[in-house]
Structure 1
């Protein structure tokens, strides 16, 4: 059973991007439901001010996150130093980096920056790999 699951996961990871315009392998509809966990801190507000998801203001707006440099949203000023450093070193959000980040923000930044002292202000961890991919797909879908 595990072999079948791994084979299916491999197929989805290979075919998913082709099915989602190359930007996301997850299920956007499922990601919308999972995003309810994120909205305590994050909102999704279009550039024209249209509120897609009303959420918290103690974390950045996630509208248009795909292919955006980390820690540069102009309406958010409270980024952590390590995330700012990662953005300055070239971190641009894509699916692989996003899912790794939301799985464990602190570990991601330690690895990305090669800095054992790196920290993240985001304490929440989205541990389920399917949920991670689905949230990414949802974020990409609302900004297309």
Structure 2
């Protein structure tokens, strides 16, 4: 076989090896932010508290932010790199219990009928990817009033 033929095979073989190495390095650095679970109570009793949970896996990424929305309106933002990492935005029917809220859960205190709606968690990774994942759930607030106790003969006064 002519010498130039071996030279061409070597170039082709070298190119394939370089591509394989590049792919292996790229796969090693690829990370994927995943939203594992969003827990929103389906029903909550008026004047009680409700815990909204957002569980995610950063898979090596740095967290940029966690945001919560009710019916498309942001009411809670957690950005760990900010000087004040937590921001709360006023929204009717949404009273955030700041002391018991974290990057993974938001506690709403004293929910009202106005608190019913669609709640969405949005998690974003830091630069350079800024990957964002989101999921939602619906919560209905019910006005529960216990039934009055039935009185028997022995419960009546004077008998």
Q: TM-score, normalised by structure 1?
A: 0.27
Q: Larger Cα Rg: Structure 1 or Structure 2?
A: 2
Q: Which has the higher contact order (CA 8 A, sep 6+)?
A: 1
* Larger helix share, 1 or 2: 1
